[in-house]
Amino acid sequence: MSASSEEMKDSKLNYRRYKDGDTNWRQWQDKIFEASWTHKCPEYVLSTPPCQGSCPAGEDIRGYLDIVRGMEKPPVKDMPWQQYAFQRITSANPFPSVMGRVCPAPCESGCNRNQVDDFVGINSVEHFVGDYGIANKLALPQAGASTGKKVALIGGGPASLSAAYQLRLKGHACTIFDDHAMLGGMMRYGIPGFRTPRDVLDAEIQRILDLGVDVKLNTRIGVDVTLEQLEKEYDAIFLGMGAQSGRMLPVPGFDAANCVNAMAFLRAFNDGRLQHVGKRVVVIGGGDTSIDVATVARRLGNITVATEKERPEHIIAGQVAHDVAAVSAREGAEVVLVSRATIDKMNANKHEIEQALAEGIEIIGGVTPISVIKGADGRATALRVAEFEMVKGETVIKAGSEKEIPADLIVSAIGQAVDFTGFDGFDNGKGLINANKSYEVPNKKGYFVGGDVIRPHLLTTAIGHGSIAAESIDVYLKGEEQEKRPKIDVHHWDMVRKLIETEHAPVGYKSLSKEEVIKTETFAKDIDLGVRGSDSAKFAVHNFEDRSSKYVIPSNELFLGHFPYVARNVREHITLNAQQALGHFEERLMKLDDKQVVAEAKRCMSCGLCFECDNCVVYCPQTAVFKVKRSESTTGRYVDTDYSKCIGCHICADVCPTGYIKMGMGD
């Protein structure tokens, strides 16, 4: 009889083979050894793992985890695995140290290991490798040979920086225009430094600039330079200016001076101008930005005696800056976060929500703002909220549920907006910019776009946009037609590239006519006859199919019974209480050490790619599956099949933990 859900709740079990109500069971070996035969033989099929398919930056996650675990070896003798892993990560994402800290990791949510015990700590591995790269001053690949083409990139955030990096590798000159004093966009001005340490951010940006990227800071489009001027000077323009204008709360009374938006609040803090807030701060939101605002307010605290000019709304508006000396007398601020979503359904990272609660931030979920209460001086004194329900898409207030939350400062963190000043004709009517799948702006020849100006989302999403846009810009600058983008548009692991890297490159293709075949009496030996196939010709990778551009392998195609329970190596996260949070601006997230990182990478199930377990070799009753000679093997070509012995029993496919073997060849 299978265990019930209640019995399993506190148990550290691995893959569950049976469901509630199942009374009959068989050992998996019974199925295997009762296998008969088919008309099909095994082939080796490369699929995209769900972690990579879920990664907006398109990182080859399985690839660098295989490097960390020691399965895929560095191509150069004495190269540290950390360096090789760094090269693999940064081929897609030049910000591994930043993203390893702040990305909410949709890759981990998609991880097939969730069906066994717990996801692989992908972010923690990326965090470690990124920090190794900074500590050891690892550089990005050198820029490509100059093409003579010039690209202007507007905005200095992750989208433009990612695009500039990829464009420099292709040899195109790049100039970034940004209206801030420093590069980084939302990474610098939207996320507090205790989550993205500024030395880490600066180091990863500098690596990109070292490729020869020009930068023009404090330069506003439409004021200091126009798009028309850029069109004349540059061959293509990338719009990556982000959505750094906050949305104001659409309720009566929010026009009070001490009602501000989250983006203005965070920018004032990250600029160093905002040093303290009011005694009572109310934040409206539910996403990661609202958590950032609340935790910053908790840390800044309140000073007991504040002059009129020191009120936070004046600093946030950019009129003055706080005197740092006055902060020594500060006390804790009461911070309340209000969300229409219940706490369990808020969009913010669950771990960050837990940390905010531990720091003494009150979260009230399931209520909606109704209005702002103003005092005689016109300043907000409270936010009025109420419980509600949705009826046919309309918000209906529950009578008698209204209440007021006292506030000295109210911050709206309900979304972001694009400032279209200087960008006439680009607003799609929804406050964003349209783009096709190649990230071209429709009907705007030579214009490309990426990041939050398409749709406010994750930093890693902007990085992915920049990478794809760079490919499209390259095609455009070459005067070629844009091809259809792959269904799974990521940086794929490439078998042919691996063969070339390990000096097993396929030989040149050659085709013989029937007459040449007869004359030479050659029958499909290391050539293509043009008449029949060959299982020995060296110009192709035999019995191998690459489906990674169109197929993400699900957990039900893996042999999950192969994987035992292995606890995840969890990064230490310093949890603060309400008193400790005050004035605490140090990093809270610690990284794993090298042994922990290797152990965590070994938890990866290498979905869709052989990880050299030997199951297929051990269980093949015909000894048809064999190990490739050590001198000829490489990642993905660890085993091969002798089709003269294979009877199509499909045992090898049944016992393949990663789903790499499929019964596909034959009739």
- Predicted confidence at residue 312, as pLDDT, reads 82
- 194's tokens: 């205790």
- Predicted confidence at residue 327, as pLDDT, reads 54
Residue 544 pairs in a beta bridge with 44
Fold that domain 25-47+494-506+541-559+603-667 belongs to in CATH: Alpha-Beta Plaits (3.30.70)
The number of CA neighbours under 13 Å toward the Cβ of 396 is 6
**Beta carbons of 442 and 434 less than 8 angstroms apart:** yes
Q: CB under 8 Å to 302, separation ≥6 — which residues? A: 276, 277, 278, 279, 330, 331, 332, 333, 408
- Predicted confidence at residue 540, as pLDDT, reads 67
d(CA 605, CA 617): 18
- 393's tokens: 């898409």
**Beta carbons of 451 and 467 less than 8 angstroms apart:** no
- 332's tokens: 């804790």
366 backbone φψ class: left, alpha, beta (φ>0; ψ -120 to 50): left
Domains 50-138+569-574+588-598 and 246-416 are alike in CATH topology: no
Q: For helices 61-68 and 594-601, what crossing angle results, to 10°?
A: 120
What is the CATH code of the structural domain delimited by 50-138+569-574+588-598? 1.10.1060.10
- Predicted confidence at residue 496, as pLDDT, reads 83
**Beta carbons of 178 and 238 less than 8 angstroms apart:** no
Residue 182: C-alpha distances to residues 151, 161, 189, 626 (Å)? 20, 12, 9, 57
- 125's tokens: 């591995």
Residue 287: C-alpha distances to residues 353, 356, 363, 453, 460 (Å)? 10, 12, 12, 18, 16
What is the CATH code of the structural domain delimited by 246-416? 3.50.50.60
Question: From the first residue on, what is the mean pLDDT of each consecutive set of 10 residues in the chain (667 residues)?
Answer: 47 55 57 59 93 96 97 92 98 98 94 95 98 98 97 98 98 97 95 95 98 97 95 98 89 94 93 89 95 95 73 75 59 94 93 95 97 95 96 92 96 92 92 96 96 94 97 97 94 87 72 51 45 57 88 95 95 93 93 97 97 95 92 91 88 94 76
Residue 390 pairs in a beta bridge with 395
Q: Closest Cα partner for 129 from 88, 161, 166?
A: 88
Q: How far apart are the first and last CA of the chain?
A: 40
With vertex at residue 272, the alpha carbon angle to CA 269 and CA 275, rounded to the nearest 5 degrees, is 70
Q: CB under 8 Å to 564, separation ≥6 — which residues? A: 14
**Beta carbons of 186 and 459 less than 8 angstroms apart:** yes
Instruction: Report CA 329 to chain centroid distance, whole Å.
Output: 41
Q: Among the CATH numbers 3.50.50.60, 3.10.129.10, 3.20.20.140, 3.40.50.970, which is that of 150-243+418-477?
A: 3.50.50.60
What SS3 state is found at 301? Answer: coil
Write down the domain spans for the chain: 25-47+494-506+541-559+603-667, 50-138+569-574+588-598, 150-243+418-477, 246-416
- 42's tokens: 């095994």
**Beta carbons of 654 and 615 less than 8 angstroms apart:** no
Q: CB under 8 Å to 26, separation ≥6 — which residues? A: none
- Predicted confidence at residue 74, as pLDDT, reads 93
Residue 519 pairs in a beta bridge with none
In three-state form (DSSP H/G/I as H, E/B as E, the rest C), the secondary structure along 84-127 is HHHHHHHCCCCCHHHHHHHCCCHHHHHCHHHHCCCCCCHHHHHH
**Beta carbons of 264 and 257 less than 8 angstroms apart:** no
